[in-house]
Amino acid sequence: MSLLHLAIISPFLLAILVPILYKTFRQIHTGWFVLPLPILLFSYFLSFLSIQEPITKSVPWIPFLGIDFIAKIDGLSLLFALLITGIGSLVVLYSVYYLSKDKEKLNTFYVYLLLFMGAMLGVVLSDNLIVLYMFWEFTSFSSFLLIGYWYHKEKSRYGAQKSMIITVFGGLSMLGGIILLYIMTGSFNISEIMEIVPAISDHTLFIPALLCFLIGAFTKSAQFPFHIWLPDAMEAPTPVSAYLHSATMVKAGIYLVARMSPVFAAEGLWLWLVAGFGIVTLFWGSFNAVKQTDLKAILAYSTISQLGMIMSLLGIGAAALHFDGIEKSVYAAAITAAVFHLINHATFKGSLFMVVGIVDHETGTRDIRKLGGLMNFMPITFTLAIIGTFSMAGLPPFNGFLSKEMFFAGMLHVLDLDIFSFETWGLLFPVIAWLASVFTFLYSMILVFKTFTGKFQPEKLEKKPHEAPIGMLISPIILASLVIIFGLFPNILSNRMIAPAINAIMPGNTADVHISFWHGFTPELFMTIGVIALGILLFISLPKWRKVYDLFPKKLTLNRLYDGSLEFAQSISKQFTSSYMNGSIRTYLVYIFSFFIVILASTIAVKDAFKMDTSNISSVGFYEILLSLAIVVASISILFAKSRLTSIILLGSVGYTVSLFFVLFRAPDLALTQLVIETISVALFLLCFYHLPKNSKNEERIRFKMTNLLISIGVGAIVTVIALSAHSNKMFDSIAQYYVENTYEKAAGKNMVNVILVDFRGFDTLFEITVLSIAALGIFTMIKLKMNGGRKNENK
């Protein structure tokens, strides 16, 4: 196993040790034991910044199905790996001061966090789609645990369930796309699929595969209309929100679209859907962020909006694959903007989540209607909020300004795009982009100024506000510093991180990225000036026009549709389940055996599997016929027995008669075993029935039912047919001769049955003994508990 594979699984390995560390070192915050790992992983991935070609390491997993654990690191996967481990390090450090070691179950928190970190690394570093899917679903599972960490809160449970249902639905859709791709290409490896894209672009399954992948990406990255899970996921602790919803999990869908663009971008539908849903998500998220009153809710909808912005840029940038020369570089600039803003968003949004966490931690509320005037009490936090929000609003000199200008440039280039009918509806892209940016500026100003300026309202706060401890400020300070550094010196990232990522998205491309602040008086600059002017005007007049949100009917929302769909599904499921789950074991057995008969009988009939070969069957003697008749008569007599004692005796006679068969077949050891087991069984039956209440004279006997008779005969007939067919369709020579030849030679035993049980099938026998021992211990414990409980009741 390579170091690259070890880097992926190391969070899972540490997760196993976390509970031990938590219990052993109670006096030390568990986060300190977790922190070194993401730092080491971040340092390890930094060592790949100088690589010129992708590095691939493979470990066989299921080779005969073409599934190997292939870890591949190129510009795109390296960028995401650095975000996952870098932001992860800062989040763990922040959580050490945010979560109390005395009040929180830190062992579960860090186990969940490490599981998520490992899953995300697996997603971005896997070149095999099946392995990628496995980690993809593991991110949904681990994020479900993290969002529901405070499971005692109903909202946390609801948010966790909602995110799980929507993202797992998308994951299953993506699995369908993976299977369709395999049918078309015969490979699960992304690198191999890219090499044969021209041969499959006209395949009838190409578009269905495309749609399946996009559903998976849209649900994970909270694109409209699947975005509704993200605001409810904000019930998670703030470190979780800062990690999952700014830098990692919600970026998984972005990663998938970027990674699969070389495969699907040849189809115009890919461009329209990625760019179209992205731009709609951008507007809808920014528009709804303005009406929120909870700080984390504002950040949630802003995250939705920013993800839509990146997605739309990837959609427009995919057009570069259809051009050459200057036109190619023009549309490739949109991919540059997407990658750059991906980094920028992680820095300013991560710091803002931590700032909001500090406000909540030090005041006891996130409601902007209760906040205000905190600037004097929390000057450092206020400074960090200014940096983060101004970058998010796209103001200079912060990094958000640069990527916002590049975004506007990319949207304006849509006007010149003359493929796939963009020359008609393409005009909407720059218009919607500008309007969404106005609302982005507006909610950014609301977030910072409604919280830190204005009237101070101490009577509405649960705590007396004060500046956070330095330990809680370190992480957002680092992220805010990066916002400024990347804004003033953007080319630090250009050829080390951005260009390799672009080359991975556009194979064969050799991007030379140069980002500068000033490009003259360009249309994008005037668009930014217009955003600021209109944004300030709307902010000043906010109370006058905010009632426009009340015009939207609250019953006609996607959240109500989701809740209503769940309630309807639960109602139908309950009614259907109640129709057959009546509490009767006899009824359940009827269902099971009926299904058993129908499925096996139809399979035998369709496959023409029944065959009866009597050539290898031994002759049946008089005593064997006699014993068989005795078993049949005893079995039928049990049905008509009027007392329990008679039933037990008849049942025992069946077992004793079977032991006589073993005597006839010259297997005395099996006969002895059967006699012992049957004797014990009869004794246990007698003991149990002794303690049962006596039958009442008026007690109604079980009525004869034709259904039960038919099912009994059917099961018996099917099992008989299967036994005869299995005997008559032997595909291999019997193993019996092997035991005859090797029992004495290899095991030094003369009793073949004992040798088989003890030597040839020793582990099987050991596990059977273990199961029986566990069952015996369980029975003994229950009896002991029952006896102790009885004594306590007597004492009372």
Residue 641: which pLDDT band, with cuts at 50, 70 and 90? confident
Q: What is the mean pLDDT of residues 434-447?
A: 96
Cβ proximity of 134 and 122 under 8 Å: yes
Residue 49 dihedral angles phi and psi, to the nearest 5°:
-60, -25
Q: What is the mean pLDDT of residues 414-427?
A: 82
Pairing mode, if any, of strands 55-62 and 67-73? Answer: antiparallel
**pLDDT at position 789:** 61
Lowest-pLDDT range of 92-96, 167-171, 235-239, 637-641: 637-641
pLDDT tens sequence across 454-483? 899 988 888 889 899 999 999 999 999 999
pLDDT tens sequence across 119-140? 999 999 999 999 999 999 999 9
pLDDT higher than threshold 80 for residue 777: yes
**What DSSP designation does 443 have?**
H
pLDDT tens sequence across 523-572? 999 999 999 999 999 999 998 898 888 888 877 889 999 999 999 999 99
pLDDT tens sequence across 224-233? 999 999 999 9
Q: What is the mean pLDDT of residues 4-12?
A: 95
The number of CA neighbours under 13 Å toward the Cβ of 525 is: 7
CA-based nearest residue to 135, from 144, 148, 145, 126:
126
pLDDT tens sequence across 492-509? 988 889 999 999 998 877
Distance (Å, whole) CA 245 – CA 356: 14
pLDDT higher than threshold 50 for residue 796: no
CB neighbours of 709 closer than 8 A, spacing ≥ 6? none
Q: What is the mean pLDDT of residues 607-613?
A: 82
Tokens representing 535? 């944004």
- Looking up tokens 């009442």 gives 696
**pLDDT at position 104:** 86
Q: Which residue has the higher pLDDT, 331 or 45?
A: 45
pLDDT tens sequence across 223-256? 999 999 999 999 899 999 999 877 788 899 999 9
What residues are paired with 58 via a beta bridge?
70
Rounded to whole angstroms, what are the CA distances from 182 to 66, 95, 186, 441, 497?
10, 42, 5, 45, 31
- Looking up tokens 């990255």 gives 221
pLDDT tens sequence across 685-744? 888 877 777 665 555 555 667 888 899 899 999 999 998 888 787 777 778 888 888 888
Domain ranges of the chain: 265-581, 734-796
**pLDDT at position 729:** 76
**pLDDT at position 696:** 59
Residue 794: which pLDDT band, with cuts at 50, 70 and 90? very low
Distance (Å, whole) CA 730 – CA 347: 67
**Proportion of the chain in helix, strand, coil states, percent, rounded to 5:** 75, 5, 20
**pLDDT at position 531:** 95
Cβ proximity of 213 and 278 under 8 Å: no
Distance (Å, whole) CA 70 – CA 177: 19
**pLDDT at position 609:** 82
Q: What is the mean pLDDT of residues 378-390?
A: 95
State the burial class of residue 303 (Cβ atoms within 10 Å of its Cβ: 0-12, 13-18, 19+): buried
Q: Quick one: what percent of the chain has pLDDT higher than 70?
A: 97
State the burial class of residue 327 (Cβ atoms within 10 Å of its Cβ: 0-12, 13-18, 19+): middle
The mean of the pLDDT values for the chain is 89
CA-based nearest residue to 714, from 631, 629, 619, 592:
592
**pLDDT at position 329:** 79
Transcribe 369-408 into DSSP letters: TT---GGGT-HHHHHHHHHHHHHHHT-TTSHHHHHHHHHH
Rounded to whole angstroms, what are the CA distances from 651 to 588, 624, 633, 657, 712?
24, 19, 11, 10, 17
